[in-house]
Structure 1
Amino acid sequence: MFESFVIFGGCGFIGSHMQRLLREKYPDAKVYVADLLADGSELSQKVDVREPIEMQGKFGKNTLVFNFAAIHRTPGHPDHAYFETNIRGAENVCNFARKHGIENIVFTSSIAPYGAAEELKTEETLPTPNTPYGISKLVAEKIHREWAAENENHRLSIVRPGIVFGTGENGNMTRLYKGLKSHKFAYAGRRDTIKACIYVKDLVRVMLEMAEKSLVEPQIDKVQLYNCCYYPSFTIEQIANAMLKAVGMKRHIPYIPKTPMMAAATVCGMLGGLGLGICPARVKKLMVSTNIEAKKLARDYPLKFTLEEAFADWWNDCNQKCLE
């Protein structure tokens, strides 16, 4: 099995959870964190994936690389930043693997390559990205696939997660909780918007299991691709109700039609988002489904947490305070 691990983007939200999982499951292995925010020690090395990667350590065919390094929040960055980090980073991570004879990579892509549309997307759906982030992630997938094709021993796992939530997220689900608690959340234009999502503990477990399985089961495709979210995906109403139940909160959630909702978002954006990141672009995203099918994942790597269990586990992990 694996003797060492390298986590590019290891100081981030998903990377931090992967660190904990690896140290629990592989206590004798070296877990190298490569990140701009690393502390500079042997196991936590400062790395900018936009530049050729030089790291100190013992790496080889028994090393597993996780590539989580990315610019991802959208909207929020200039277009060139997504391409510079996500595409150049993919090239440099793959070159690092080539240099050290590493044979197994897990790459975290996104559902963004599918593009924004209401139609159901499976792993067989033709990607039609319509944002710089989605385009950069699709190109990065291709770069990793090229690496995988170079050697019959190379194994690649690509995951396309929906919204990832859990301790340290500070993103969509955190904003949802804060909006519910402060009575500032409303259904924007519709209640049935589908929002594919996955709990971070399930995601990191699944990614590690994919890499492990590729070593011991030769019939596994050398390139694995999975949509990573609940199957079937939940609507925003189901998500909000599950969160309320998990944290013991009772709220009536109002419904605001699209036109007044966008007008209110424009005003809130001019006032700095009222501390909730409210702006027209984010509200518009709330009204577009991420209708992703993860039937394949449910068959091969079933999730351990239901949606309500995931919210409750997150709530308990942080002593009911991390979402405040």
Structure 2
Amino acid sequence: MKIAVIGGSGFVGTRLIETLKDHTIHQLINIDKQQSPFFPEITTIANVLDQEAINNLLKGTDLVVLLAAEHRDDVFPRTLYYDVNVQGMANVLAAMDLNGVKHIVFTSSVAVYGLNKDNPNEECPIDPFNDYGKSKWMAELLLQEWYAKHSECNVNILRPTVIFGERNRGNVFCLLKQISSGRFLMVGNGKNKKSMAYVGNVVNFIRYLICNKSLGYDVYNYIDKPEVTMNDLVAHVSRVMGKHIPSKHFPYWMGLLGGYCFDFLASITGKKLAISSIRVKKFCANTLYDSSKAMTTGYVPLYTLSEGLARTLNYEFLEKRTVDDVIFLTE
């Protein structure tokens, strides 16, 4: 089987290709607008918005894993979310039709549910609160329409929560770095629960879907259980790091006001700032999602959430790093 990973030069894609190369004998190609720092030998530089290029590159392909997306909170102009996430999906589906490709795995997001939902499963109402979530849902709708005309094909949609792991420089890394530094400022009471997914588990679930799900249309939330509260996370980091980590609590309203101030500064300076009102809202929100459907497939996560956090903390903050280590900038 020939597998085309579209958007495989980034954080999740790199780990996925590594996992597939270790566990399968399938032929792999990576299509990305950036060169892969680890797998240049199988990478072709192309943009998902280039229909002709995608048409040509999917020749002879049996299965597509679509990872390419605009996903940061600070993408500008906002239309890029829809250009890449929605039109990109349309282009890939057109190329699949042209080349007779019948299988696709698509990484969507729990962002389609919106904030502060009560442990939604895959059947819960869709209510995205930002352009990223809206564009991911629009891409899913294109897949629904495509499958309705291609019932002989196979669609697997993965809606992961925030993904973290070694080499990632996203929100979870920044949070772990702040906590481990001992200069962490807790907005709210710290009792809100956060869902997370360790990259090693996410890519192995994708591999499981590739190897075991070849019929029908399925959507899966992916979250490593059980979720932890912010207070629990601080305590876990303290244990792994072997040091006492104090945390100061600030009222939510004060944190949100500060976020709006940073929004204003970003708008007048044109600079991307580490703090924003959206990030404060996301930080203080309960993010609980039902992942029981994924667990009923027979897949067993390779790591517990605690193990994934410990592996990340050890790699990033306890082991000796070299200055030229490859890192991935994400949310």
Name the TM-score, length of structure 2 as normaliser.
Answer: 0.85
5+ unaligned residues in a row in structure 1: which ranges?
216-220
Distance, in Å, in 1 between the alignment partners of 2:311 and 2:197 is: 13
Q: Pick one of 4, 26, 29 that aligns with 2:2.
A: 4
User: Aligned partners of 1:78, 1:184: CA distance in 2, in Å?
Assistant: 34
Match of 2:224 among 224, 227, 230: 230
CA distance, structure 2, for counterparts of residue 30 and residue 194 of structure 1: 41
* 1:236-315 → structure 2 map (5 Å cutoff): 236-265=230-259, 270=265, 277-300=274-297, 301-315=299-313
- Of residues 27, 30, 35, the one that matches 1:33 is 30
- Structure 1 residue 266 displacement after superposition: 5.6
Q: After TM superposition, list the pairs within 5 Å mapping 1:1-324 onto structure 2.
A: 3-26=1-24, 28-38=25-35, 43-54=42-53, 59-60=59-60, 63-215=62-214, 222-265=216-259, 270=265, 277-300=274-297, 301-317=299-315, 319=319, 321=321
Shift of 1:75: 3.8
Q: State the alpha-carbon separation in 1 of the partners of residues 57 and 117 from structure 2.
A: 46
Q: Indicate how the Cα distance of structure 1 residues 97 and 262 shifts in structure 2: closer, same or farther if over 3 A, else same.
A: same
Aligned to 2:135, the other structure's residue is in SS state: helix
Map Cα deviations across residues 108-159 of structure 1 (whole Å, 9 max, x no partner).
0001110122422111101011211111100101112223333333111101
Secondary structure (helix, strand or coil) at the match of 1:195 reads strand
> Per-residue deviation at 1:306?
1.2
In the TM superposition, what is the alpha-carbon distance from 1:316 to its structure 2 partner? 4.5
1:203 Cα deviation from its structure 2 partner: 0.3
Aligned-partner Cα distance in 2 for 1:4–1:135: 31
In structure 2, how many angstroms separate the alpha carbons of the residues matched to 1:252 and 1:44? 45
Distance 2:100 2:196 in 1: 34
Structural RMSD (CA): 2.7
Post-superposition offset of 1:78: 2.9
Q: Please state whether the residue corresponding to 2:169 is helix, strand or coil.
A: coil
Question: Which moves more between the two structures, 118-127 or 143-152?
Answer: 143-152
Identity in percent: 26
Displacement of 1:263? 4.5
What TM-score, normalized by structure 1, do the two folds share?
0.86
- Provide the secondary structure at the position in 2 that maps to 1:120: coil
Q: Which amino acid aligns with 1:246?
A: V
Q: Which secondary structure does the structure 2 equivalent of 1:125 belong to?
A: coil
Distance in 1 of aligned mates of 2:68 and 2:228:
28
Partner SS, residue 7 of structure 1: strand
